[in-house]
Amino acid sequence: MAYVHPACRFPLLQVANIELLRKNKVVQEVNRKQRTQKSMRALRLLSALRSYAKKHDGSVGTAAGHGHKFHAVSRCREVIHGAAVRVYGKPGTANYIRRRHEFKEAFAIFDRESNGHVRVENIQSLFELLGLAESAESAARAIVAELDVDGRGSVEFEEFFDWTAAQHEDVDTHALTRDIFNIIDRDRSEDITATELRDTLSSLGAVMSPEDIMRTVADADHDGSGTIGFHEFEALMRKHMKAESM
């Protein structure tokens, strides 16, 4: 081993400590972005579920007769069935495996009892936690009725996975982003505060420190107002959607 003069050891230790700090900061930043990404994915799914429930609950509810209702539900299920393979590729491919893992994490937000399926009360309680108590029960019932292919009265992960894939085939990105923004912006001020973002993400089970929240707001806050306006939030969502499509 080469001899190092004692006078040179202290600077070398300083350099090593600085490098270690840099690596730790990089790891922390990557973890923060992953947690934020996971939460944004859950919000997109929640918004899509709510929109889907409104659309299909209304159309089914006004249909004339049970026969028409049955055929409407059957058509929806035909579109959903097998969507994961159509959109993400065959099971075993890298994209399919990655998407399945991502949506398993999202499914766990709804399946808080970890029993492998989601019931009406699970979806209803999540809506209520996010301040969406109005029509929460009817929306939750409509969602389960549409997605429950096997008729067990609950949504299994495979049904959920097919449904999420089907949404990629027909989604209004602007309307989805506006709905998510409204979910977070609880005081309807047209600005998302750090507190509103923290409360919403906490309701979804996201574990984020105050520093994480402030950094996320700072990343999106281009005008320096300390809050996130709709256009800033739209840019943030585009960034997250782009990252997910890679």
CA distance 133 to 51: 15
Residue type, 181: F
CA triple 216-221-225, angle to 5 deg: 125
Q: What pLDDT score was predicted for residue 65?
A: 44
Q: What is the pLDDT along the chain (246 residues), one digit of tens a residue?
A: 555 555 555 565 565 666 666 777 777 777 777 777 777 777 777 777 777 766 655 443 434 444 444 444 555 667 678 888 998 899 999 999 988 988 888 888 888 888 888 999 988 888 887 777 777 888 888 888 888 877 888 999 998 888 888 876 566 778 888 988 998 999 999 999 999 998 888 887 766 788 888 888 998 999 999 999 999 999 988 887 766 665
Q: How far apart are the first and last CA of the chain?
A: 46
Distance, C-alpha 205 to centroid of its chain: 11
Residue 199: exposed, middle, or buried by beta-carbon count in 10 A (0-12, 13-18, 19+)? Answer: middle
- Considering Cα of 62, then 124, then 129, then 212, what sign does the dihedral take? negative
Whole-prediction pTM: 0.70
- Bridging pattern class, strands 155-156 and 117-118: antiparallel
DSSP summary character for residue 207 = -
pLDDT at position 55:
67
The DSSP string of 80-128 is HTTHHHHHH-STTSHHHHHHHHHHHHHHHHH-TT-SSEE-HHHHHHHHH
| Per-residue pLDDT, 201 | 81
Residue 203 CA to residue 131 CA, distance in Å, equals 10
Q: At 113, list the tokens.
A: 């009892």
